[in-house]
Each structure stands twice: as structure tokens, then as C-alpha cells.
Amino acid sequence: MPKTKMVDFEEFLQMDKENEHRLEYFDGEVVYLESPSVKHQQVLLNIAAEFRNYFRGKSCEIFISPLDVWLKNEEKTAKVKVQPDLMVICDKTGLMENAYEGVPVLVIEIISTSNQTHDRIRKYSTYMEFGINEYWMVNPELKTVEVYVLEENEYKQAAIYKGSDCAASQTFNELKICLEEIFPSNNN
């Protein structure tokens, strides 16, 4: 589990400016993110390349970490800053020079043993609470992709993909990513 610390919002903003670490903020709790592994970066780059090809010429755009995302919707007063590994943003009105304020349509987190609880519990419930339509959890060790879709304000598991499967988005028609294309071979 990543290291955490409790601080008020103003203190967090100061920490965030002065800290060389990547930080997330969950309405009072600061989470220090570890540097990603080589395998994590390989998988992220492979997924980003597939997503970039799909979204080329479309109105939605993909972004990869590190990009601060201040989750914001009309019903929530909580202050939450996350850095998803990959996100699809369709409402670009919240894009700023160094951050995004709003709710991405789709978020992907690449999980590892050190951040699994954070991604499976904290981010899962936060993304669901803020209304992110689709959440993918990618596990490079197990070479699986879990896809969750928001239905009636709760995530429902659409599928778990493994082996020679192709993971399919439930939000974007014809967005499919074959797992053999995103997971590095064993000799890397």
C-alpha cells in the first residue's frame, strides 16, 4: 500500500508544489505514489499506442500519467486529485496547462503488488463515486484486464480478459485491444 499522510487542502497544495514525488489527494489524505516499474511503463505505452490509434481523428482524447486530474462533478464537495495511468477525456472544457478538472469517461490503472489495494479499493470506489463511466484494471503480472462499467451508480464487471483475448470497451464501439499486443513477452 502506498504511504499516506493526513493534511488539510491548503497544506496539500503547498506540498504538491514543493514535492518531487507524485502525489494524490483524497479529501484530506495524501497518497505518495511510487515510481512505476519498467514492466508498468511498457504495458502503459503499449495500451496508449492502441488507444491513440483508435482515438485519432475523434473528439475524445487520451492522456497518460503524470497528469493531475481534479475529480469534479456537481454533487460532490470532496477534493480529490488522482493521476490515472491512462484516461479518456471527452469534455475538454476542464483541460488546463498542467491538469484536468472534471470526470474522464474511461480510466485505466496498471496495478502492481505495491499499489493493488489502492487501485482495487480506494480508486475503484472514488472513480465510481465521481461517475467515471468505465474503469479498466490492468495486471501485468497475471496478464489480465478487468473492465468495469458504471450502471445505476455502481460498477458492474463487464469482463476479465486473459490469454489471447481482446479487451473491449463498453463505452466506445469497436475499441478492442488484444492482450498479446500490450503485455511484453517473457524475454523482455
pLDDT at residue number 35? 85
Q: What is the pLDDT of residue 2?
A: 57
Residues 6+ apart with CB under 8 A from 96: none
Cα(32)–Cα(135) distance, rounded to whole angstroms?
22
pTM of the predicted model, to two decimals? 0.91
pLDDT confidence of residue 52: 96
**CB of 118 closer than 8 Å to CB of 112:** no
pLDDT tens digits, the chain, 188 residues: what are they?
A: 557 778 888 888 888 888 778 888 998 888 888 888 899 999 999 999 999 999 999 999 999 998 999 998 777 767 899 999 999 999 999 999 999 999 999 999 999 877 778 888 889 999 999 999 999 999 999 999 999 999 999 999 999 999 999 999 999 999 999 999 999 775 44
Residue 119: predicted pLDDT: 85
Cα angle at 113 between 25 and 81, to 5 degrees? 15
- DSSP code for 94: G
Gap between the Cα atoms of 89 and 100, Å rounded: 9
- Range 52-85 burial, b when 16+ CB lie within 10 A, else e: eebbeeeebebbbbebbbebbeeeeeebbbbbbb
pLDDT at 188: 44
